[in-house]
Amino acid sequence: MQIRTSDYILKPFKKMKPYIFFLLIFGLLMACESPDVCMSNCSNKRLRFIDNGVNFNRIIYDDNNRQINYIKGIVPFTTYSYNNLDAKKTQGTNITTYVLNDGLVPHFSLVISSATSLLNLVNSYSYDAAGQLIYSSETQTPQVINYSYTWQNGNLILTSFKKQPGNITIYLKYEYYTDITNSLGNEFVGLQLFGKSSKNAVKRITQSFSNGNPMIITTFEYKKDLCGCITYSKETDNNKVITDKTYIYEKIIE
């Protein structure tokens, strides 16, 4: 008999009365700080729930405040594990291993390379003294793509890379809200393993092409709570809404 992972996960809930299930979810939400009340500041809070209108997603952390699970609905979607020299991400059958520099740049532990064996994909990363990503390469034989990143006042303002076929250079120009702090970070929530995130929330990304193809303009709108944490975002691509998301935070317990 074949047992599906989803059956194993859902089994406890199948016997649970509906009102008890909703009380459980309500209890989780109550553990998070209300967007109408600020008892701390955004640096003392971490992202806990993301609602994209399709799934109500959860981020689970370990005792060291490291993300270990990203759960879509009630099914684990991505898991993370760590040791002193690397971190691993498992997503379905794909396992990506991230090699860390173990703090070679002061005050940071940064990813210097990664490999996803099933996809035959290898990446490398370089940073400046401030821990900001400035170069990366993506190798998926026979193709190699090199990326360059430019920073200004703590924000990433330009990414450029050449794409095959046609050897076309693509430029991504970033503009920011000066009054909204970026509380969303990057993939490794709060850890900054890929270097510092931009300090402000991105307002507009303009994608242009060396061959003269039409520009693609992506804009972002946000709402924030009294602590300044982003609680809602809407992404619009050439005047078409692509995603809108709601975010819920919890206080970090020392």
Q: Which domain holds residue 75?
A: 5-251
- Burial label for 168, CB within 10 Å (0-12, 13-18, 19+), is middle
Cα end-to-end span (Å), the chain:
45
Q: Quick one: tokens of 49?
A: 């729930």
Question: What's the CATH number where 181 sits?
Answer: 2.40.160.190
C-beta of residue 87 within 8 angstroms of C-beta of residue 192: no
Count of structural domains, the chain: 1
How far out from the chain centre does Cα 52 lie? 14
Residue-by-residue pLDDT tens, the chain, 254 positions: 333 333 333 343 344 444 343 334 444 444 455 555 665 578 888 889 999 988 899 999 888 888 889 998 888 889 999 887 888 999 888 999 999 886 555 445 789 999 998 888 999 999 998 889 999 999 988 888 999 999 999 999 999 998 776 788 999 999 999 999 999 876 666 667 888 899 999 999 999 999 888 899 999 999 999 889 999 999 999 888 889 999 999 888 76
Model pLDDT for residues 139-150, shown as the tens digit of each residue:
988 888 999 999
